[in-house]
Structure 1
Amino acid sequence: MSIPFTGILRGSSGGLSSGIAKQINSLNLKPVKRILLKFDPFTPESVETRSFLYSITSKKARDSNPACPIKTEVLCDRSEPSVHFQLTNGESVIFKSKNLTALEMLKLVNQHITVLAPKEEPAAPIVTKTQKRK
């Protein structure tokens, strides 16, 4: 006699944390000059903005543009949270993040900002003396 399985079967999706990890891996902050996050920590809407702050300060994201400062403004005026990206071409992008999740904000950054990054050209292969002789 066997006991029926009552656990959860894992699907192909790893859930929210794997989705965030996937977006962070494809994140490129090279076209960004400065990031400013404004939120009131006493409102429940700021939780996802703080989670987004945690995501973009990861080592993988910071290594894409170490010269990009990430500033936070902690407000106490019940204003809605927002994320301001100042781009190197002079434009700015503002996310009003009251109703956005951290995953949605990362997807928006990858859709609108990462695509502006300059394409890296592959380096020419190194040719040694023995290869030149052939």
Structure 2
Amino acid sequence: MSLPATGSLSRSAGLISAIAKNVRLLNLKAVKRITVSFDPFVENVKQTREVVFQLSVGRVQRTNPGCIFRTNVVCDRSDPQFIVDLIPEVHETAGFNTVKINAKHLTALEILELFNKHITVLAPKEEKVQPISTKSKKKK
């Protein structure tokens, strides 16, 4: 007698593709400023530096060109943290103006998932703009 098969039928694409998927989902339209502070001598700082790199990628920055991105490198053995200030329109609807993420024991994937869970969902929805139709286009 054999045991029935359980689990998924395909393998996971891996950690790199999971990080890439979360980076593709990032939307900073609701963000006014991101401040990242970390001590380079604390353990697990590599994950924070990886997220800093992913947030500074051109595709993510193009979602909100007005977003100010600051990195503070400190030497006081403090835990890495991300402080995200929201734009006033989102602040009024959400009821808070700052999101603080302590990244001491978090992996890069978990930090990006938190960004998508708490910040990307606050982004204002894009309104569909109808193209302007001219007489010459109507004739064609």
Q: CA RMSD in A?
A: 1.8
CA deviation after TM superposition for structure 1 residue 111, in Å: 1.0
CA deviation after TM superposition for structure 1 residue 48, in Å: 0.9
Whole-Å separation in 2 of the counterparts to 1:110 and 1:54: 16
% identical equivalent positions = 46
Q: Confirm whether residue 53 of structure 1 aligns to residue 59 of structure 2.
A: no
CA deviation after TM superposition for structure 1 residue 43, in Å: 1.2
Greater than 6 Å deviation, 4+ residue runs: none
Native 8 Å contact 1:37 1:84 kept in 2: yes
CA deviation after TM superposition for structure 1 residue 77, in Å: 1.0
The equivalent residue for 1:80 is: 79
The equivalent residue for 1:30 is: 29
Alignment of 1:103-118 (within 5 A): 103-118=109-124
Question: Structure 1 123/100 Cα, relative in aligned 2: closer, same or farther at 3 Å?
Answer: same
CA deviation after TM superposition for structure 1 residue 13, in Å: 2.5
The equivalent residue for 2:103 is: 97
Q: Which amino acid aligns with 1:24?
A: V
CA deviation after TM superposition for structure 1 residue 46, in Å: 1.4
> SS state of the match for residue 84, structure 1?
strand
Q: Which amino acid aligns with 1:87?
A: L
Native 8 Å contact 1:45 1:81 kept in 2: no
Whole-Å separation in 2 of the counterparts to 1:120 and 1:132: 27
Q: Which amino acid aligns with 1:34?
A: R
Please report the TM-score for the alignment, with normalisation by the length of structure 1: 0.84
Q: Confirm whether residue 71 of structure 1 aligns to residue 77 of structure 2.
A: no
CA deviation after TM superposition for structure 1 residue 121, in Å: 1.3
